Structures are given as structure tokens and as C-alpha cells.
Amino acid sequence: MNPLAAARAYSAIQGTEMPSAATGAAQPSGFADMLTSVMGDMTQSSRAAETQMASAVQGQGSLIDVVTAVSSAEASLETVMAVRDQVIQAYQEIMRMPI
């Protein structure tokens, strides 16, 4: 997850609009759309890391590119896992509330 995606996620939660002219992408309209977007970004960075690793194994890639792609994929995965943990914690808290 890059800083721009994190800023967009924060602005979506706060209900403010952030210009999307830098990437040309539309703003997510809700929490589900934001999660779908983050999951797509995580999947894309994982695939990019796999591609870099495959090219390095074939002797065509740079080790620096592989390390950068893998660390980016790892950061994206950790972000998604942190969001998942917070959603589960919020759900459990709601379920503990008395009616």
C-alpha cells in the first residue's frame, strides 16, 4: 500500500474528498469499495513481486528490484491483515454489547 492509497483510505473514512487526478482512479464510495480497492492493490503488488522473483531466477532481473517488490508486497499484506484484525475486533465488540 502506498502513501497515496493510505491517504485516500483515511479521507474516505473521514468523509472528505481527495482529488484523484494523480492516478485517474475514481474515489471509493463506501467502506466495502475501499476494502476491495485495498485488496486489489495488495494482489497487484504480490503479483509484481512474483514476476520480479521469476525474472531474477532466470538471470534477467536485479536483486534490488526483487527486494523492493517483495518488501512492498509484504507491507501491503501487513496492512490488509491489520485492517482485517481491526474489523474482527470491532465485530466482536459489537457482539458483546447488551441489547
The amino acid occupying position 80 is V
**Is 73 a residue whose pLDDT tops 80?**
yes
What's the pLDDT score for residue 95?
92
Q: What is the pLDDT of residues 31-70, one digit of tens each?
A: 778 778 888 888 888 888 888 888 888 888 788 888 888 8
Q: Which domain holds residue 34?
A: 28-96
User: How far apart, in whole angstroms, are the C-alpha atoms of residue 52 and residue 42?
Assistant: 15
Q: Is residue 77 part of a domain?
A: yes
Q: Is residue 17 part of a domain?
A: no
Place of cell 464510495: 29
Q: Is the pTM of this model over 0.75?
A: no
Q: Is residue 55 part of a domain?
A: yes
Q: What is the pLDDT of residues 10-32, one digit of tens each?
A: 666 666 554 454 455 555 477 77
Place of cell 521469476: 54
Q: Is residue 60 part of a domain?
A: yes
User: How far apart, in whole angstroms, are the C-alpha atoms of residue 43 and residue 45?
Assistant: 6
Q: Which 8-state DSSP code applies to residue 26?
A: P
Strand boundaries in the chain, DSSP class E: none
Q: How many domains does the chain have?
A: 1
Neighbours of 5 (CB within 10 A): 18
